[in-house]
């Protein structure tokens, strides 16, 4: 599976962005998909995940503000980010794994990352 993340940019605090992740491969439907982020000087952290079209699961820090979704027909995963805060600024990565997990080590494939900057 190859993953390509896009949609990052500069937004003011309180604003919104929608990240997209395009996946290649005919077995996309079988993967759990996740979004992670990494800010400068910090470890990569889990943001959200989704298995099939079941409801997403989220890090506490983004719950209620971010929504993960997927379109299996288009091999796409999305992360709608609302009410962005300066602490949300990071490089965001999409990833694919064989089971639901909040651990980066459980994910098998990674996209290249897209930068989100939030101004206060």
For 86, list phi and psi in degrees, rounded to 5: -55, -35
Residue 113 has pLDDT above 80, yes or no: yes
23-75 pLDDT tens trace: 998 788 889 999 999 999 999 999 999 997 678 999 999 999 999 999 999 99
What is d(CA 3, CA 77) in angstroms, rounded to the nearest whole number? 10
- Strands 17-23 and 76-81 come out as antiparallel
What are 61-111's pLDDT values in tens digits? 999 999 999 999 999 999 999 999 999 999 999 999 999 999 999 999 999
- The confidence band for 112, taking pLDDT boundaries of 50, 70 and 90, is very high
Which string of b and e fits 87-105 if b means at least 16 CB within 10 Å?
ebbbbbbbbbbeeebeebe
Cα separation, 103 vs 109, whole angstroms: 13
- The pLDDT, as a whole number, for residue 53 is 66
In sequence order, what are the residues at sequence separation of 6 or more whose Cβ sits closer than 8 angstroms to the Cβ of residue 81? Answer: 16, 17, 18, 19, 62, 65, 66, 88, 116
**Rounded Cα gap, residues 49 and 34, in angstroms:** 4
């Amino acid at each position: 599976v190859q993953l390509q993340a896009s949609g990052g940019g500069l937004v003011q605090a309180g604003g919104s962005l929608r990240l997209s992740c395009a996946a290649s491969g005919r077995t996309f439907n079988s993967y759990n998909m996740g979004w992670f982020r990494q800010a400068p000087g910090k470890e990569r952290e889990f943001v959200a995940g989704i298995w099939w079209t079941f409801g997403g699961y989220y890090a506490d820090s983004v719950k209620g503000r971010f929504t993960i979704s997927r379109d299996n027909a288009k091999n796409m995963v999305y992360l709608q980010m609302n009410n962005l805060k300066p602490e949300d600024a990071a490089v965001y990565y999409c990833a694919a794994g064989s089971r639901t997990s909040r651990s980066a080590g459980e994910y098998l494939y990674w996209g290249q990352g897209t930068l989100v900057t939030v101004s206060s």
